[in-house]
Structure 1
């Protein structure tokens, strides 16, 4: 029998799975291992012991190590992990809000809105400061979310209609993005195309520090709102019966999910399926309680993108594949298996 610690909550009683600390510790260990492995591998391999010495400020006897580790590899690896965390939390929130296990930021249209805003900034305003890109992506994703939410409103918001509208508006945003690429200047378009592939190639500490505030604000908010997500996941009628301020809490969760998803897209481009896979894997490990699921899904998402970046750099070296391509190669069959499973049910 599963061991559960029952905790009483004034809004909803929930169960904390005793497996959570063990699973979290295992995922943290795997994530640290993946980060070290990603930093150590490449055309210039470095022993993990030398990486640790360099990070601790100890002399390894090789003057190239600090530059390769701290300037070239560590920032892109940390960005990859943080992007995976943000996308996983965003996908978990959207699956909970829509009560649809096939939902993720790309299906809701969030990624498409963020991509349209980011590509517009890259193509039309190439001289814009770096910190503008996450802001533009967030505004584009938020505008898309508000538009979908407003169109779906009919004395309350329908989860199914939110999905359908997201698919339709995502197609429109993608068409507009393609128009910008077709008619934009070739230098700016080349940058936008590489960015759209979903990659952390060339990411530096500038991108890391620009992305970090979004994670520091969004992740704690998402974890703090997890019990409200539990209530909303039960359905509108049950949530109203429990005295939940339904639309206010749903709107706040949407803003948090949009902020994390939009800023992740601005930082690494369109990396799909992370927000779809991480919550499902997390549910298998710790169950569906979002207070358990959100941190576990976040670690799984960070681990997925970090491993995808490592595989993209090493599988066909010296040719480098975008991590978005690696994730898609795993995520597409995963999505099809989910679709077939739910069709049979």
Structure 2
């Protein structure tokens, strides 16, 4: 049985990787400036230097595709971990207020620091990532402070506190953004809607260390998530430190979400839907469901961005809005299903 599940996991993983590569190929070759597969391959291999293809691929399309892949993968894994920690299948980084807190922190950076010093380029991107992490940590501190009951983290209370934090941070973000000058306000509004159209190589370099650092931690601790699904008496009897494990995985998830929000804005529903699809494909065994959840998240963001930039061309619809159009009905379906269970 274990060997069969392993083969199923590997098959689905390979299929999802293949599908992701196919979407990347379509995104590279299609757009306002179409090109053939041969042109794209020659350009990627450096055999077509100095042509318009080089500018289009390396300055516009490839950074956008890679940011979409990284953000989707990070949000998918973070969502699966948060649902495992809370033992609630309706939990995701947006519902817990992590998105909103990171967004508020970055908007504050845009309003106070960036507007004052007019910083741009690499330093600005790294600062935004760091400020996003500070905001995510602030949300985590509030979650840990107000979600405790008799000295222990209560998963159900965690959801309620997260919803309250999400509302509060979102209101503050709107207030601060309204104080910006028109140009910065427009930039912040587009960013908050979940757009990756302005992706750059500096954003990739700023995001990659966070994903390379914290994703292995979550994958390594994924077997513990299986144990955390048991009742606390059984989990403690096995010898697992529930509080310590929850803190480690919560902080690691927040780091992934904060780094993603810093470069893509608030792309919701990825952390909610991807784990559900993953569990349907490979079951609830977290060492298998976490990587698949990451791949499903990657596919969602890549596909959402491609639809947003092509179906309404020459205008563009942010990937976050496209995913929300799909995600809202699915969220309602989950609520109805949970109510009927």
TM-score band, normalised by the shorter chain?
A: over 0.9
Task: Give how far 1:58 is off.
Answer: 2.1
Question: Residue in 2 aligned with 1:94?
Answer: 82
2:22 is paired with a residue whose SS is helix
Offset from partner CA, 1:226-284 (integer Å, 9 cap, x none):
01121112232221111111111110000110000111011100000000010000011
Please name the residue that 2:141 is paired with.
146
Match of 1:308 in 2: 304
Q: By how many angstroms is 1:184 displaced?
A: 2.1
1:8 matched to which residue of 2? none
How do 1:30-45 and structure 2 match up within 5 A? 30-45=19-34
Question: Offset at 1:289?
Answer: 0.6
Distance 1:120 1:208 in 2: 22
Farther off after superposition, 264-273 or 119-128: 119-128
- Indicate the residue corresponding to 1:55 in structure 2: 44
Cα deviation, residue 16, structure 1: 5.0
Q: Given the alignment, which residue of 240, 243, 256 partners 1:244?
A: 240
Superposed CA RMSD: 1.4
Cα distance between partner residues in 1 of 2:289 and 2:40: 32
Judge conservation of contact 1:84–1:303 (CA < 8 Å) in 2. Answer: yes
Q: SS in structure 2 opposite 1:44?
A: coil
1:59-118 Cα offsets, whole Å, 9 max, x none, are: 38x811111111110001100111000111110010000000111000011111111101
- Counterpart residue number, 2:2: 4
Please point out which of 260, 263, 266 is paired with 1:264. 260
Match of 2:95 in 1: 107
2-side partners of 1:310 and 1:334: how far apart?
A: 20
Distance 1:306 1:85 in 2: 10
Gaps in structure 2 of 5+ consecutive residues = none
Point out the more displaced range, 158-167 or 182-191: 182-191
Higher helix share: 2
Normalising by the residue count of structure 2, what TM-score does the alignment of the two structures yield? 0.95
The separation in 1 between residues aligned to 2:233 and 2:112, in whole angstroms, is: 46
**The one of 320, 334, 338 aligned to 1:338:** 334
> What is the aligned partner in structure 1 of residue 130 from structure 2?
135
Q: Does the residue aligned with 2:94 lie in a helix, a strand or coil?
A: helix
- The gaps in structure 1 that reach 5 residues or longer are 6-14
Q: Which of 185, 188, 191 pairs up with 2:187?
A: 191
Number of corresponding residues: 333
Higher mean alpha-carbon deviation, 303-312 vs 15-24, is at 15-24
CA distance in 2, matches of 1:115, 1:90: 17
**Residue 68 (str. 1) matches residue 64 (str. 2):** no
Give 1:51 deviation, angstroms: 1.1
Q: CA separation in 2, counterparts of 1:294 and 1:51?
A: 32
- In the alignment, is residue 158 of structure 1 matched against residue 154 of structure 2? yes
Q: Offset at 1:303?
A: 0.7
TM-score scaled to structure 1, two decimals? 0.94
Q: Helix, strand or coil: the match of 2:95?
A: helix
For the Cα contact (< 8 Å) 2:136–2:254, is it kept in 1?
Answer: yes
Offset at 1:46?
A: 1.3
1:9 maps to: none
Q: How many angstroms does 1:24 deviate by?
A: 0.5
